[in-house]
């Protein structure tokens, strides 16, 4: 059995792999009013398709489905094999609730009962 793949077959398999990654991506990046799928996410940054996504720079938001994960400042790191790698310069976690303007006590009651 041979492990050699013709150039056309290899390119077809690679295109199918990238298409499957784009379709299955729940992660996406929002830059301005545009949304782009994320192929890979790692600790230092993320990877997007360089053929489908224009060059990104500056402040973006990273989402998983409809839930915002981070507000990030990014820079382009490298491009290879049709994928653009971006690194986080700053990564701030998204808050799930409004910011508080007071200190919450650890033993504060969950609610108050009214007297009848």
Instruction: Report yes or no on 103 lying in a domain.
Output: no
Instruction: Report yes or no on 72 lying in a domain.
Output: yes
Could you report the per-residue pLDDT of 4-37, keeping only the tens digit for each? 778 888 788 877 777 776 666 689 999 999 999 9
Instruction: Report yes or no on 45 lying in a domain.
Output: yes
- Alpha helix ranges (H) inside the chain: 7-24
State residue 107's pLDDT score. Answer: 87
Instruction: Report yes or no on 1 lying in a domain.
Output: no
CB 83 within 8 A of CB 42: no
pLDDT average, residue stretch 98-105: 81
Mean pLDDT of the chain: 85
Domain count, the chain: 1
Instruction: Report yes or no on 17 lying in a domain.
Output: no
CA distances to 9, 18, 21, 115 from 15, rounded to whole Å, are 10, 5, 10, 68
Instruction: Report yes or no on 57 lying in a domain.
Output: yes
Instruction: Report yes or no on 48 lying in a domain.
Output: yes
CATH number for the domain harbouring residue 47: 2.40.10.430
- Residue 34 lies in domain: 26-93
Half-sphere exposure of 42 (CA within 13 A, CB side): 8
State residue 73's pLDDT score. Answer: 96
């Amino acid at each position: 059995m041979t492990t050699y793949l013709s150039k056309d077959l290899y390119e077809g398999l690679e295109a199918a792999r990238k298409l499957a990654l784009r379709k299955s991506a729940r992660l996406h990046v929002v830059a301005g009013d545009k949304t782009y799928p994320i192929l890979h996410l790692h600790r230092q940054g993320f990877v997007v398709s360089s053929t489908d996504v224009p060059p990104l720079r500056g402040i973006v938001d990273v989402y998983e489905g409809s839930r915002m994960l981070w507000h990030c400042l990014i820079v382009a790191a490298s491009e290879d094999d049709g994928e653009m790698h971006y690194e986080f310069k700053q990564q701030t976690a998204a808050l799930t609730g409004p910011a508080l303007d007071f200190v919450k006590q650890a033993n504060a009651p969950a609610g108050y009962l009214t007297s009848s």
